[in-house]
Amino acid sequence: MLAKLTVVSYLGAADWWVFGAVLALTLAAALYGNFRGKRPRNKTLDYLLMGRKLTLPLFVATLVATWYGGIFGVNEITFNYGIYNFVTQGLFWYAAYLIFAFFIADKVTKYQSVTLPDLAGSMFGPKAAKVAAAFTFLYITPVAYVLSLGMFLNMAFGIGVLPGMIYGTLFVCLYTAWGGFKSVVFSDLVQFFVMCAAVFLVVVFSVRAFGGLAFLQTHLPPSHFSVTGGNGVWNTLIWGFIALATLIDPNFYQRCFAAENPSVIKKGVLISTFIWFCFDLCTTAGALYARAVLPQAEAAQAYFFYSVQLLPAGLKGFFIAGILAIILSTLNSFLFIASNTLSFDLLRTRFKNVVLSNRLSLFAAGALAVVMAQMLHGSFKEIWLTMGSYFSACLLAPILAGYLWPKRISDNLFVCAALTSAAAMTAWKCLPLPQNWAQLDAFYIGVATGALILFFNRRKKKSHA
């Protein structure tokens, strides 16, 4: 197999028909989501949370579909480091999902919040809401997913990465702004089935063409079957802490706030975790085959070109639609959350019409994501580490402390812990440090700083009690 610059030459009429049909079905689902149901009493709640009527099947479909927009980044990690990807992007996250299902879900339902910053405001106070909104917006701005979309259009159709990011993001903003969260959920429903089927087919045809585990062990470096993939233990463990961001992830919380009852949340997260496990097995296995068959290909693109050359006519188009579904289902969710954060949490007092403000904010968030993707066009791994580490390190400890000690963390203490953590991380990154100290990631400094501030404050209050 030899990869070409684009996949257009591999596609026949059947592939184009299948690809077009999936795209049309996705748009139809988004429009259906907008027009279904009775005229809502509360337009804002309907637009942002689907009127809190998210059923279990829809909860699972939209939650699962939201998690894989960085498919090229995941494939890049697998190509370079092997099963290290399944450990860092899979196992750590499953543990976080289970913690959320059994220990956090019930607590979330006690608050009739609309967004994560809104929840922080209810738990701690208005200052905490603004600080949480700022960190949430930084984290949720979909830089990696806009870049993924640009790369997809470049590899599939030869469109430049920057024009691809612009046109693709504009398309997502248009159909998302039209119906709000309902459009996101119903388009995710179609994309969920397409993306799962697409990655499964790649594994099936790979095993048929090349054999199973023995083939991979023969054609891959031994380090690809190491848990750390040649990375240090501490560099591996940092992904475990970043995975804990699930406990405060805005996409998780939005689906929880939209669920029609508390039982949907726990059941939905458990079902979703099983599906994520199966999906990760498929993507990791597929990327390992890509490395074995196309060892000289570019890491982030190998899985895509390998799969297109492997699959028969008709299924090539279905696979391309599946990859596009993976990206779009995450991009629309992240853009919608970013617009919610901007319009509802940061600018609500300035604009009375939250729905109109949200729609305008969607395009603003999309434009910002394109600009940042152009500026930070490096490794997906570095983009995720940088943006995810600040969000997790600065908000995780204060919000979890709020669950452990309800009403005992003040507004000012939350702000102090979050901002001091950010300052400590930035200082650790910028200051010249001895070699041994510099190897310790700034993420650990941020988490430790926030946790220590909260711990000593609690200890001080106990001593005065």
* pLDDT tens-digit map of 205-234: 999 999 999 999 999 988 888 887 777 777
8 A C-beta contact, residue 115 and residue 344: yes
Comparing 366 with 4, the larger pLDDT belongs to 366
What is the rounded average pLDDT of the residues 78-99?
88
273-321: per-residue pLDDT in tens?
999 999 999 999 999 999 999 988 888 788 988 998 899 988 999 999 9
pLDDT score recorded for residue 416: 95
**Average model confidence (pLDDT) across the chain:** 85
pLDDT score recorded for residue 2: 44
Domains and CATH numbers, the chain: 8-378 (1.20.1730.10)
Q: 141, 160, 132, 98: which is closest to 339 by C-alpha? A: 141
- Alpha helix ranges (H) inside 82-180: 84-86, 92-99, 105-108, 116-123, 126-140, 143-157, 161-179
- In the structure encoding, which two tokens stand for residue 124, read together? 């701690």
Percentage of the chain lying above the pLDDT 70 cut: 91
For 2, residues 6+ apart whose C-beta sits below 8 A from its C-beta are none
CA distance 429 to 444: 12
CA distance 29 to 191: 10
What is the number of other CB atoms lying within 10 angstroms of the CB of residue 464? Answer: 6
CA distance 371 to 166: 9
Comparing 180 with 130, the larger pLDDT belongs to 130
**pLDDT band at 37; cut points 50, 70, 90:** low
pLDDT score recorded for residue 382: 65
- 3-state DSSP assignment of residue 84: helix
- In the structure encoding, which two tokens stand for residue 90, read together? 């899979």
Collect contacts of 127-133 with beta carbons under 8 A, ≥24 apart.
127/411, 127/412, 127/414, 127/415, 128/398, 128/411, 128/414, 128/415, 128/418, 129/345, 130/345, 130/346, 131/414, 131/415, 131/418, 131/419, 132/345, 132/395, 132/399, 132/418, 133/341, 133/345, 133/346
Comparing 365 with 432, the larger pLDDT belongs to 365
Q: Is the pLDDT of residue 435 over 80?
A: no
- In the structure encoding, which two tokens stand for residue 318, read together? 């279905």
Q: Is the pLDDT of residue 166 over 90?
A: yes
Q: For 147-156, 288-297, 377-386, 453-462, which range has the lowest pLDDT when averaged over its residues?
A: 377-386
Q: Is the pLDDT of residue 126 over 90?
A: yes
8 A C-beta contact, residue 291 and residue 302: yes
pLDDT score recorded for residue 329: 86
pLDDT score recorded for residue 3: 44
**pLDDT band at 129; cut points 50, 70, 90:** very high
CA distance 116 to 340: 10
Report pTM: 0.84
363-420: per-residue pLDDT in tens?
999 999 998 888 766 556 666 666 777 888 889 889 989 888 888 889 999 999 999 9
